[in-house]
Amino acid sequence: MTEQKTPLVEMKDISIAFGGIHAVEKASVDLYPGEVVALLGHNGAGKSTLIKILSGAYRRDSGDIMINGETADIRNPRDAKEYGIETIYQTLAVADNVDAAANLYLGRELKTPWGTLDDVAMEAKAREVMGRLNPNFKRFKEPVKALSGGQRQSVAIARAILFNARILIMDEPTAALGPQETAQVGELIKQLKAEGIGIFLISHDIHDVFDLADRVFVMKNGQVVGHARTQDVTKDEVLGMIIMGKCPPGATPGPGAIKG
């Protein structure tokens, strides 16, 4: 982990309510370059809502977001992209009927000086970026629907980093994948870390993410129970945070930790 003083992302005291329901209440999380931070908690804990505030899908009621130490004004997904924030959804937003290169440049195609599509340049760039992420990937000429879940995910991630994502949000990235593909996503994440990208990895299942994460934040009922470096806590202790809201000695308690 290349820890530096200024976090890539700092979300401070973020709150949002839907009707009378406090989906997220005074939640604070941070993320450093090259770091994987897991956001854990039961279904309904507020993880996706918190992270949708970062990706511009929801507007917060209160709280601050800092990117690289400066206050960020994120009002919509386009603002978020300008800050280098990209989201990889569980339901992968890829176009099934076209190949990997076409997917990477969908809506942002490269053109020749004559205004025609520059397929040669797009394929060359696709091979370079995909080669970095997933060296075994060879199926550049096939429609994406023919690819495995893990390969489709590498296409979606390549698309994000091609357009300079510095902050990647992966919400339940392995929920729809088998064990082999899940391992592949783990490899992808290691590669992204090495490139200095910060990753929020969201899951309701600790086993999916614990070994990949440098730190964990646990949410319960919209609040942060606490956070810890994965090397300072056991999986059982983190389960105690998720289930009971109980903060172990190796963790820093948040507003949602039960007292005593």
Ligand X SMILES: Nc1ncnc2c1ncn2[C@@H]1O[C@H](COP(=O)(O)OP(=O)(O)O)[C@@H](O)[C@H]1O
Rounded least distance, CB 55 to Mg ion, Å:
13
Grouping H, G, I as helix, E, B as strand and the rest as coil, residue 2 is: coil
In the bound state with ligand X, the residue whose beta carbon lies nearer, of 105 and 200, is 200
Using the rule CB under 6 A, which residue among 29, 36, 45, 201 binds ligand X? 45
Using the rule CB under 6 A, which residue among 12, 30, 44, 162 binds ligand X? 44
Label the pairing between strands 223-229 and 215-220: antiparallel
Is there binding between residue 218 and ligand X (CB under 6 A)?
no
Grouping H, G, I as helix, E, B as strand and the rest as coil, residue 155 is: helix
Which does residue 49 touch among ligand X, Mg ion, none (CB within 5 to 8 A, set by kind)? ligand X
Residue with tokens 């978020």: 80
Using the rule CB under 6 A, which residue among 5, 20, 43, 75 binds ligand X? 43
Rounded least distance, CB 33 to Mg ion, Å:
25
Per the structure block, which two tokens stand in for 235? 């999986």
Which of the stretches 37-45, 70-78, 109-117, 176-184 binds ligand X when contact is defined by CB under 6 A?
37-45
Is there binding between residue 21 and ligand X (CB under 6 A)?
yes
Contact between 156 and 134 under an 8 Å Cβ cutoff? The reply is no
Which does residue 231 touch among ligand X, Mg ion, none (CB within 5 to 8 A, set by kind)? none
In the bound state with ligand X, the residue whose beta carbon lies nearer, of 48 and 103, is 48
Is there binding between residue 48 and Mg ion (CB under 5 A)?
yes
Which does residue 154 touch among Mg ion, ligand X, none (CB within 5 to 8 A, set by kind)? none
Nearest to 161 by CA among 86, 55, 73, 241: 86
d(CA 191, CA 184): 11
Is there binding between residue 46 and ligand X (CB under 6 A)?
yes
Contacts of residues 59-62 at CB distance under 8 Å and 24 or more positions apart, as own/partner, are: 59/16, 60/14, 60/15, 60/16, 60/24, 61/15, 61/16, 61/17, 62/13, 62/14, 62/15
Contact between 85 and 167 under an 8 Å Cβ cutoff? The reply is yes
Please give the residue ranges that form the binding site for ligand X (CB under 6 A).
18, 21, 23, 41, 43-49
Please give the residue ranges that form the binding site for Mg ion (CB under 5 A).
48
